[in-house]
Amino acid sequence: MAFQGFAIAAHTEWDADSGTGSPYVVYAYATNIAQVAVDTRTGNVRVEKIWAAHDVGKAVHPVSVEGQIQGGTTQGVGYSLMEGYYLNQGKPVNPDLTFYFVPCSVDTPEIEPIIVEHKYDKGPYGAKGFGEQPLMGVAPAITNAIRDAIGVRFYKLPVTAEMVWAAVNKLDI
């Protein structure tokens, strides 16, 4: 058996000059809390645990939702602490995975996915889309946890061990 269909999205409008309007059909909400350990001798930051709560409308397939939260959260750890893309005179210094670091299993913290369900009456089966959402709040959660640990706030990503070490030792690198 096969089915086919289509949907026309609700009308949206946005006035960039006034900053008013309704540019999206639906909003999804999320929050993250990160627990980190900072080695002040080396500057190394280890993310120990992340609690990741996501409003998904109705979780049609909860196991997939948890997987999406875990995958996106892990991407956020990489974005926060290791994924720096560097250029020298416009040419990439780290064009491959030899020197462009991404998280592997030992870098992945314990992640506690928290699925917040409140059916969205305009979504399929009450669901909301949230594909990229799990990545978005991880960096602020981690950098805020680092700030709580050492008293220094970072505004540039990734927050490397060298940056943390310099901040702890009050050096400008």
List the domain boundaries for the chain.
26-168
Identity (one letter) of the amino acid at 159? V
Where does 58-109 show beta strands of DSSP type E?
A: 87-88, 91-92
Contact 143, 65 (CB under 8 A): no
Per-residue confidence of the chain (173 residues) as pLDDT tens digits? 677 887 787 788 888 899 888 766 777 889 999 999 999 999 999 999 999 999 999 999 999 999 999 999 999 999 999 999 999 999 999 999 888 999 999 999 999 999 999 998 878 899 988 889 999 999 999 999 999 999 999 999 999 999 999 999 998 76
Structure tokens at 75: 């991407």
**Is 132 in the active site?**
yes
Taking the C-alpha atoms of residue 173 and residue 165, their distance in angstroms, rounded to an integer, is 10
Tokens of 85: 């893309």
Neighbours of 152 (CB within 10 A): 16
Find the catalytic residue in 48, 110, 132, 162.
132
Q: Which fold has domain 26-168?
A: Aldehyde Oxidoreductase; domain 4 (3.30.365)
